[in-house]
A and B are shown apart, each in its own frame.
Chain A
Amino acid sequence: MVNHPIAGSRAGTVPAQGKRVARPKDSWIVRTFDNPAVLSFLFMLPAATLLLVFLTYPLGLGIWLGFTDTRIGRPGVFIGLDNYVSLFQDSMFWLAVTNTVLYTVIATIGKFTLGLWLALLLNNHLPAKALIRSIILVPWIVPTVLSALAFWWIYDSQFSIISWALVELGLIDHYIDFLGTPNNARASLIAANIWRGIPFVAICLLAGLQTISPSLYEAAALDGASAWQRFRHVTLPMLMPILAVVMTFSILFTFTDFQLIYAITRGGPAGTTHLMATLAFQRAIPGGQLGEGAAIAVAMIPFLLFATLFSYFALARRKWQQGGSDD
C-alpha cells in the first residue's frame, strides 16, 4: 500500500504516504483489502462468476450440444455435423432462415424510418415535450408478450378492430384474415415489431439530435441549404455514431426475436412464420430434440456476427471518414 498507483500518478503532490504511516493500527486484513489488485479481484468475483457460469459456459455448451443428439432426459453422444446436415435438407429450417432475414430487414428499415421521423418531430419546439416523450416510451416499457397479446386480439379474424374500422370507412368489404395466410401473418408480425421498436429508436435518436449544435443549421441555412440538404448533410452525418450503436442493438434483438412470434402466431399458420429462435424452441423444448434445437440456435451466430460487424463498421467508418473523433 506504500505507493498507491493511482493516487501517486494522478497527483504527485498528495502526501498519501505520510498519512499512511500515521496509522500503524491497520490490521493485515484492512491492508489486504486496501490493495487494489486484491480488491479488484474480490470486486469482480460475483459478476464474473455469474457470467462465466451462466453465460460463457452455456454459450460453449450450446455449440457442443449442436454436435450431439441430446434429448430431454437423455444425454447425447457426439454425432459430428449430422444435425447441420439434416437441417441443411430441412425446408422448414430454410423457411425459418428466410423469414428471420426478411423480418429483420423489413422491421429494421421500418423502425428506423419511422423512429427517425418521430425523433425529428420531437426535436421541434413543443409544448409538454417531456410528457410526450415519456408517453412515447410506454410501448417499450410494457412486457412485450402482454402488448403482443393486445395485437393478437387486434388481429383477430372475426373481431379485429382494424377490419371493423376499415369496413366502417368503406375501404374494404370483408374482414381481413390477418393471421390466417402466411404473408398476412408475416406482415402483421413485422408491423407489431415495428410498433414496439419505434419508441426505443426515436428516443435514442432524439438524444443524438439534441447534441447537434443549432449553429450548424444556421450556417447551412445561410449558405442556402434547403431543408432536405440540411437533413442530408448536417443531421444524418452528425447522427451516424449513435445510429450505428442503436442499429446494432436493434438488428441483434430483432434477429433473435422470440416473444412476439410465440405470442401472436406460435409459428403458424402451419409453421410458415417461424423465426430461427422460435423454431429452435419448438424443436428443443416441446419437441425434446435439444441437440437439433441447439444447432438451429448456433446457426444464428454467424448471421449475428455479420449483422453486428456490418452495421457497426459500415456506419462507424463513415463517421471516421467525416473526421469525427475516434472514441
Chain B
Amino acid sequence: MSDERAGMDYLNTWPRKLVTVYAPLSAFLIILLFPFYWMTVTTFKSNEELYNFKDYNPLWIHSPTLDNVKRLLFDTDYPQWLVITMTVAVVATAISLFASVLAAYAIQRLRFKGGQTVGLMIYLAYLVPPSILFIPLATMVFQFGLYDSPMALILTYPTFLIPFCTWLLMGYFKSIPYELEECALVDGASRIQILWKITLPLAVPGLISAGIFAFTLSWNEFIYALAFISSVEKKTVPVAVLTQLVEGDVYHWGSLMAGALLGSLPVAVIYSFFVEHYVSSLTGAVKE
C-alpha cells in the first residue's frame, strides 16, 4: 500500500516531513509506551531508589535488583494465579472456538432459513457489555453453586468470546471459494467431511486469529473474575494483582509493577508472534 501512496509523496520535502510526520509520531510512540517503560523501571528498582528522587534520576535504574520479582513469585500466590488464569483462558477459548466454528459454518455455508437473522443477533450479542450482565450472572452463579469456582468464569467468558469469534470466522469462511465445497459435494463427501477436511484446513489463519483473540480477551477479563471469585488462591492475575498486592494503605509499588509486568508478558509474547493476525482480524472485524 505504501508504494501506491508514494504518488503524492513528492510534495513533501524532508524537513517538512520531519516536523509534520516524524516529530508528532515520535511523541505518540513515547506517550503510548511510557507506562510500560515506567512499569519495567519500577519493577527492577530497590525500594530506597524507588522513593528517592533527589539522589537518583527516577527515569533510570542505578542498581537493578530482582527483589520485587522474587517477592512476587515466592511470597505471594502469583504462580498459582498465573496457572488459574491460563487454565480459564485456554478452556474458555477452546469451548468458544468449537461453538463458533460450527455456528459460523452453519450461518455462512449451510445458509439455513433465518441464518442472516441469527448472524445479526450474534453481532448484537457482542454489543451487550459485561457491566450490565454481571449482577444477574452473579445470582445465577450462586444458584448453580459455581460461586468461587473457575467453572463460573469458564462458562461465562464464552458470552463475549463466541460472538466475536463467530463474526470473525464468518468473514474467513466467506473468503474460501465455494467451488471447493461444491467439488467435494459432487464427489460424494458429506457436509461434516467437507467442514473437517476442506473448509477448516483452509480457515487455519482465521482459527489462529480467533484463538489468540479469545485468549487475550479471557486473559484481560476483569469484572466477572472480580465478582465471581473470592478465594485468594483462585483469583485471576488482573484481579489478584489489584486486590491482593495492596495491603491497606501500604502500596508495594515495586511488587505491584512486577505483577503488572509479568501479567502482561504472556499476552505480549503471543502478540509478538501473531501481530499480523491481530491487525488483520481487528481491522477485518470492524470492516465487516
Contact = CB atoms under 8 A, between A and B. Distances in A.
Contact of A217 (B8, B51, B129, B219): B8
Interface string A24-54: 0000001001101101111111111011001
B186 A147 contact: no
**Contact size range, B:** 35 or more
Interface of B: 1-2, 4-9, 11-12, 17, 21, 24-25, 28-29, 31-33, 35-36, 38-39, 42, 50-51, 53, 58-59, 95, 98-100, 102-103, 105-107, 110-113, 115, 118, 122, 125, 127-140, 142, 155-156, 158-159, 162-163, 166, 178, 182, 185-188, 190-192, 216, 219-220, 222-223, 226-227, 237-239, 241-242, 253, 256-257, 259-261, 263-264, 267-268, 271-272, 275, 278-279, 282-283, 286-287
A179 to B, nearest CB: 12
B132 A62 contact: yes
Nearest to B85: A143
Contacts of A174: none
B286 A204 contact: yes
**By DSSP majority rule, is chain A's interface helix, strand, loop, or mixed?**
helix
15 contacts: A7-B185, A33-B190, A43-B105, A54-B155, A54-B158, A56-B125, A59-B133, A123-B5, A125-B9, A137-B271, A246-B286, A281-B131, A290-B138, A297-B135, A300-B132
A2 to B, nearest CB: 13
Contact of B28 (A136, A253, A263, A297): A136
Contact of A40 (B11, B106, B130, B166): B106
Interface of A: 4-7, 10-11, 14-16, 19-20, 22-23, 30, 33-34, 36-37, 39-48, 50-51, 54-59, 61-62, 65, 70, 72-73, 114, 117-118, 121-126, 129-130, 132-139, 141-147, 149-151, 153-154, 156, 159, 161, 164, 195, 198-200, 203-204, 206-208, 210, 214, 217-218, 221, 242, 245-246, 248-249, 252-253, 255-259, 262-263, 276-277, 280-281, 284-285, 290, 293-294, 297-298, 300-301, 304, 308
Given A34-B191, A39-B191, A214-B4, A59 B132 contact: yes
Nearest to B278: A137
Contacts of A51: 122, 125, 158-159, 162-163
Contact of A65 (B106, B135, B282): B135
